[in-house]
Chains A and B, each alone.
Chain A
Amino acid sequence: MTDALDTFPKLLARNAREFGAKPALREKEFGIWQALSWQQYHDKVRDFSLGLVSLGFERGDTVAIIGNNRPEWVCAELAAQGAGGASVGIYQDSNLNEVAFVIDHCDAKFVVAEDQEQVDKILDLIDQLPKLKNVIYTEPRGMRKYDHPTLVSFAAVEEKGRALNQAEPRRWEQNLAAGGGGDTAIICYTSGTTGFPKGALLTYDNLIVMGKSVNAVDAKWASDEFVSFLPLAWIGEQMVSLTNSLLVGFTINFPEDPNTVTEDIREIGPHTMFAPPRVWENMSSTVQVKIMDTTPFKRFMYHWAMPIGYKIADLKFKKQPLPFGLSLLHKLTYWALFRPLKDRLGLSNLRTCSTGGAALGPDVFRFFHALGVPLKQIYGQTEISGISCIHPDGDVQFHTVGKPIPGTEVKISADGEILSRSASITPGYYKNDAATAQTIRDGWLHSGDAGYLTDDGHLVVIDRIKDVMRLADGTQFSPQYIENRLKFSPYIKEAVVIGNDRPQLTAMICIDMSIVGKWAENQKISYTTYTDLAAREPVYGLLQQEVEKVNETLPLPAKLRRFVLLYKELDADDEELTRTRKVRRTFVAERYKDVIDALYSERTKVPIDTTIKFQDGKTARFQTVLLLRNLT
Chain B
Amino acid sequence: MNVAQLEVNDITLRFGGVTAIKGVGFNVAQGSIHAIIGPNGAGKTSMLNCISGVYHPQEGRIALDGQDITALSPYARTRLGLARTFQNIALFKGMTVLDNLLIGRHTHQKAGLLAGGIYYGRGQKEEVIHREYVEDIIDFLEIEPIRKKTVGTLAYGLQKRVELARALALEPKILLLDEPMAGMNAEEKEDMARFVLDINDDRGTTIVMIEHDMGVVMDISNRVVVLNFGQKIADGTPDEVQRDSQVQKAYLGQDE
A residues with a Cβ closer than 8 A to B are 29-32, 141-142, 144-145, 256-257, 259-260, 263
Q: In the bound complex, how far is the Cα of B197 from the Cα of A12, in angstroms?
A: 41
The reply to whether B135 and A260 contact each other, CB–CB distance below 8 Å, is no
Contact with A along B186-227 (1 / 0, CB 8 A): 000000001001100110000000000000000000000000
Partner among A31, A142, A256 whose Cβ is within 8 Å of the Cβ of B202? A142
Query: Can you list 18 A-B contacts (CB < 8 A)?
Result: A30-B132, A30-B135, A30-B138, A31-B138, A31-B144, A31-B147, A32-B135, A141-B198, A142-B198, A142-B201, A144-B202, A256-B144, A256-B145, A257-B142, A257-B144, A257-B145, A260-B144, A263-B145
Q: Is B139 an interface residue (CB 8 A)?
A: yes
Given A30-B132, A31-B135, A259-B145: A142 and B140 within 8 A (CB)? no
B residues less than 8 Å from A30 (CB atoms):
132, 135-136, 138-139
The residues of B with any CB-CB pair to A shorter than 8 Å are 131-132, 135-136, 138-140, 142, 144-145, 147, 194, 197-198, 201-202
B201 touches A144 (CB 8 A): yes
* In the complex, chain A residues whose CB is within 8 Å of the CB of B131: 31
Contacts of A141 in B (CB 8 A): 140, 198, 202
Complex Cα–Cα for A263 and B147 (A):
11
Provide the bound-state CA to CA distance between A604 and B147, in Å: 47
By a CB distance below 8 angstroms, the chain B residues around A256 are 144-145
**A29-B198 in contact (CB<8A):** no
Provide the residues of chain A in CB contact with B139, threshold 8 Å. 29-30
Which residues of B have CB within 8 Å of A144?
201-202
* B136 surroundings in chain A (CB, below 8 A): 30
Min distance, Cβ A282 to any Cβ of chain B, angstroms: 15
* Chain B: CB-nearest residue to A616: B190
Q: What total count of A-B pairs have CB within 8 Å?
A: 33
* Residues from chain A with Cβ under 8 Å of B197 in the complex: 142
Contacts of A257 in B (CB 8 A): 142, 144-145
A260 to chain B: closest residue by CB: B145
Bound-state Cα–Cα, A32 to B135, Å: 9
Give the chain A neighbours of B142 by CB distance below 8 A.
257
Question: How distant is B101 from chain A, measured CB to nearest CB, in Å?
Answer: 11
A155 to chain B, nearest CB (A): 16
CA distance A257 to B147 in the complex (A): 12
Give CA–CA (A256, B139) in the complex, Å. Answer: 9
Which residue from chain A places its CB closest to the CB of B197 in the assembled complex? A142
Cα distance A259–B202 in the bound complex, in angstroms: 25
Question: B180: shortest Cβ distance to chain A, in Å?
Answer: 17
Report how far A256 CA is from B143 CA in the complex, Å.
Answer: 10
A292→B226 CA distance, assembly (Å): 54
Contact partners of A263 in chain B: CB under 8 A: 145
Q: Which residues of B contact A145 (CB under 8 A)?
A: 201
Distance to closest chain A CB from B57 (angstroms): 37
Chain B residues lying within 8 Å of A32, measured Cβ to Cβ, are 135
Chain B nearest Cβ from A573, distance in angstroms? 13
| Nearest-neighbor residue (CB-CB) of B195 within chain A | A142
Alpha-carbon separation in the docked complex, A257 to B136 (Å): 14
Chain A residue at smallest Cβ distance from B140: A141
Given contacts A30-B132, A256-B144, list 17 more A-B pairs with CB under 8 A.
Answer: A29-B139, A30-B135, A30-B136, A30-B139, A31-B135, A141-B140, A142-B194, A142-B198, A144-B201, A144-B202, A256-B145, A257-B142, A257-B144, A257-B145, A259-B145, A260-B144, A263-B145
How many angstroms from the CA of A256 to the CA of B138 in the assembled complex? 11
- Tell me the bound Cα distance from A30 to B137 in angstroms: 9
Name B146's closest neighbour in chain A (CB-CB): A259
| Cα–Cα distance between A119 and B139 once the two chains are bound (Å) | 19
Contacts of A260 in B (CB 8 A): 144-145
Q: How far is the CA of A122 from the CA of B201 in the complex (A)?
A: 22
Q: Which residues of B contact A29 (CB under 8 A)?
A: 139
Shortest Cβ distance from B198 into A: residue:
A142
* Cβ contacts under 8 Å, B147 to chain A: 31
The residue on B at minimum CB distance from A29 is: B139
A259 to B139, CA, bound (A): 13
List of 9 A-B pairs having minimum Cβ-Cβ separation, nearest first: A30-B135, A259-B145, A257-B144, A256-B144, A260-B145, A31-B135, A142-B198, A144-B201, A260-B144
Q: How far is the CA of A30 from the CA of B131 in the complex (A)?
A: 9
Q: For residue B97, give the distance in angstroms from its CB to the closest CB of chain A.
A: 11
Residue with the greatest number of chain A CB neighbours at <10 A, chosen from B139, B145, B201: B145
Chain B, residue nearest A256 (CB): B144
Residues of B within 8 A of A259 (CB): 144-145
- In whole angstroms, how far apart are the Cα atoms of A116 and B138 in the complex? 18
CB closest residue in chain B, given A140: B202
Nearest CB to that of B190 among chain A residues? A616
**Chain A residue with Cβ nearest B131:** A31
Chain B min CB distance to A293 (Å): 14
* Chain A residues, CB < 8 A from B145: 256-257, 259-260, 263
Question: How long is the Cα–Cα vector from A260 to B138 in the complex, in angstroms?
Answer: 13
The residue on B at minimum CB distance from A257 is B144
Q: How far is the CA of A142 from the CA of B198 in the complex (A)?
A: 6
Question: How far, in whole Å, are A144 and B131 apart by their CA atoms in the complex?
Answer: 26
The answer for the CA separation of A145 and B201 in the assembled complex, in Å, is 8
* Interchain nearest-CB distance for A31 vs B (Å): 5
CB distance from A264 to the nearest CB of B (A): 10
Most chain B C-beta atoms within 10 Å of own C-beta, residue among A29, A30, A141, A144: A30
Bound: A513/B142 CA distance, A = 25
Report the bound CA distance from A31 to B139 in whole Å: 9
Measured between C-beta atoms, what is the minimum distance from A170 to chain B in Å?
39
Q: How far is the CA of A263 from the CA of B148 in the complex (A)?
A: 11
Of all chain B residues, the one with the shortest Cβ separation from A258 is B145
Q: Which residue of A lies closest to B136 (CB)?
A: A30
Interface centre among B136, B139, B142, B197 (most CB of A within 10 A): B139
State the Cβ distance, A254 to closest chain B Cβ, in Å.
13
| B153 CB, nearest partner CB in chain A, Å | 14
Rounded to whole Å, the gap between the CB of B227 and the closest CB of chain A is 30
In the bound complex, CA of A142 to CA of B138 (Å): 15
Q: What residue of chain A has the Cβ atom nearest to residue B139's Cβ?
A: A30
- Cα A142 to Cα B145 with chains together (Å): 21
Q: Closest CB-CB distance, A577 to chain B, in whole Å?
A: 21
Nearest B-chain residue to A144, judged by Cβ: B201
> Whole-angstrom distance between the alpha carbons of A145 and B31 in the complex?
14
Q: Which residue on B lies nearest to A620, using beta carbons?
A: B186
A142 to B142, CA, bound (A): 13
- Shortest Cβ gap from B20 to chain A (Å): 38
B138, B142, B144 interface centre (most CB from chain A within 10 Å): B144
Complex alpha-carbon distance, A145 and B220, angstroms: 14
Q: B137: nearest residue on chain A (CB-CB)? A: A30
Given the complex of chains A and B, what is the CA–CA distance between A263 and B139 in angstroms? Answer: 16
Q: How far, in whole Å, are A29 and B138 apart by their CA atoms in the complex?
A: 10
